[in-house]
Amino acid sequence: MATIKIVFPTPTDNISDSADLDILIYNGTLGSEVLFETILKDDIRKSIVGSNIEITGIEITEAVEYNFSAKARDEAGNLSVNFSPITTHEVSLDIDSLMNLINLQSDNVDKFTIIPTDKVSVWTEQNGTTTWNQATDANRPLRSNGIVFDQTNDFLARSSDLTATDYSFYCVVRYLAVNTGTTGNRALFSNLAATDWIGFQNGYIMTLNTASVLKRTISSGYKGNRHIVLGVRKSGNNFTFTINDRVCIQSEHSTVANTIFGRINGIAGFPQFFANMNVKSFCLSSTVFSDVQHRQITDYLYNRYNLSSNTTADNVIAFGDSNTVGILSTSYVNSLASSLGLAHLNLGIAGTVFVNTTGQTNNGYDRYEKQIVTKPYTDYISITYSGTNDILYGIPASVYGTQMNSMIADLISKGYNPARICISSPAYQRSGGNAAELDNYRSQIVSIALTHGIKYFDLLQAMRDGGGDALLNSGDNVHLNNTGQTLWANGVYAAFTS
C-alpha cells in the first residue's frame, strides 16, 4: 500500500468560501470514471497552498494504474466539472519505521518493542474463562509469544505511564466467546487498584472509568465475531476511539487526567487475571498520531494479523435521527439486532438532518464515512434518515435524493453488499401531517432502492395502515412509541431476510 498527494488548481465556489468545498476524487478514464474517495471540507488531509488544493494521504495499491480526476461539491450539493491537470506525488510513510517507534514504556524498552519483531502479547483462544492468581504460575494465561508479565505484579506499564496525559494506543483483540449484549466488565486495561479501566460492557458499549467513576461511554457495536483493531488516542482531555476504520460516537466528557493502562485483565475477582479477551497485539506510544498516521497504523495491524480472513458480520448499524435514538421508547435497532443475532450500533443523533446543505453539525452525509465505513465491509446497515428533519428544514426531496443516492453508491463501491443495506421510507406524522412531502421523499427512496438493489421497508405506509397516531408518543407529532418501534424492527428484519 502506498500513499500519494494530489495537487490541482483551487476551484471557485459561487456560494461562499472555496475552503468549504468538499472534493470528490474519481478514478478511470473520462466517461467511465468511478468515485474513488470523498474528501470533506474539514478533512485535515485537504489544504490550500497558493493557488492550488493539495490532498495528502490518498491510499493506492502499488503496481496498479490510476487515472485520477476530481470535482468540487458546494454546500448545495452542486458538482463542478472535472479538474485538470492533476499532479501526483509519492508521500508514503515508512510504516515499518513508524511502528518501530511504538513501545510500551518500561524499565526494559527492548523487551516491549512491538512491531515488527513480533514481541506482542498473544493468548491462545480458549472456550471459557481461565483465572490466574498472579502470585502463582497455576492457570497462568497461555502465551504463545510476546510480552512476559512481571511475575509479581502482572503489570505492563510502569507508574510513570500512569501519569501520562497524551498517548496513542492500539490493540488487536477479540472476545473469547461472543458477547450476548448482557456481558459486563470485559475489561481490557486497568490500573493496579482495579478502579480505573477501559473495557467492553453491557449493551455493546465500551466505558472508560476513573476511580470507578464513569468518564466516557463509547458506542462499540462489537459482538465479538471477529478480531478488531481497537484504537484510542488521547490529547489532553480529547479522546478519539476507533474500531478498525470506524470512529466511535462517545458521550460524557468529564476530565480524564491520566492514562489508565496498567494491566490486561478482568475487573471482577481482583487480584486474579481473567483471560476473557484474546489479544494479539498491544501497542502504546506517548505520541498522539495524526489521522493519516493513525489510519496507516490501523491498516498495518489489520493486514499484519490477516483480519480480512474473517468477514463474519458483527453488527447492524442504525443510521438516522431521534427516532433512531429512540425518544421515550427503545430503538428498533435493539430488537432488529437481536433477531439477526448481531450487536446493535445506534448511530442516531437527535435533531440532525441527512443533507449537508444547511451548515448543521453532525448531519448524516458528512459523518457517514467516518462512523459507518470500516473493514471488512460486511456488517448490516439500516438507514433511517428518511426526511423527518430535512422536511422541517425545507430541504427539497430532490436534494435529499441526490445525496442519499451518492452515499448508497459509495457504500456499495467500498464493498458493502446491497443485500445488507436497508433504507426505510419516512415515519408517519400525527394527523397525517406533511403527507405530500413525505410521499415525495418516499418516491426518492424507492427510486434509490431500485437503482442499487438494496432492501427497502415502507415504514410510512406500514404506520398509516397499522395505527397511525397510536404508534406515536402521546402529545408528540413525530416520535415513535415502543409499538411503533417494534413495527419498524419487524419490517426491516423482514426486508433483510426476504
For 97-309, which CATH class? mainly beta
Q: Which pLDDT score, from 0 to 100, does residue 426 have?
A: 97
Distance CA 98, CA 102 (A): 7
Question: Do 157 and 239 touch, CB atoms closer than 8 A?
Answer: no
Across 34-48, 128-142, 423-437, the highest mean pLDDT is recorded for 423-437
- Higher per-residue pLDDT: 97 or 234: 234
For residue 356, pLDDT over 50 is answered with yes
| Segments in 305-363 forming alpha helices (H) | 322-325, 332-340
289 or 134, which is more confident?
289
Reply yes or no on whether the pLDDT at 353 is more than 90: yes
Q: 64 Cβ partners below 8 Å, 6+ apart?
A: none
Residue 67 has what pLDDT? 86
Q: Which residues pair with 53 in a beta bridge?
A: 8, 48
Return d(Cα 414, Cα 104) in angstroms, integer: 35
Could you tell me which CATH number the domain at 2-90 has? Answer: 2.60.40
What string of DSSP letters covers 36-82? EEEE-TT-TTEEEETTEEEEEEEEE-TT----EEEEEE-TT--B-PP
The correct answer on CATH 3.40.1260.10 for the domain covering 315-497 is no
The answer to whether the CB of 262 falls within 8 A of the CB of 190 is yes
pTM: 0.72
pLDDT tens for each residue of 238-271? 899 999 999 999 987 778 876 655 444 444 444 4
Q: DSSP secondary structure string, 78-94?
A: -B-PPP---EEEE----
Q: What would the grid cell of residue 103 be? A: 513501545
Domain ranges of the chain: 2-90, 97-309, 315-497
Tell me if 73 sits within 8 A of 403, measured CB to CB: no
Task: Please give the share of the chain, as a percent, with pLDDT higher than 90.
Answer: 42
**Is there a contact between 189 and 196 (Cβ–Cβ < 8 Å)?**
no
417 CB neighbour count, 10 Å cutoff: 16
d(CA 361, CA 254): 22
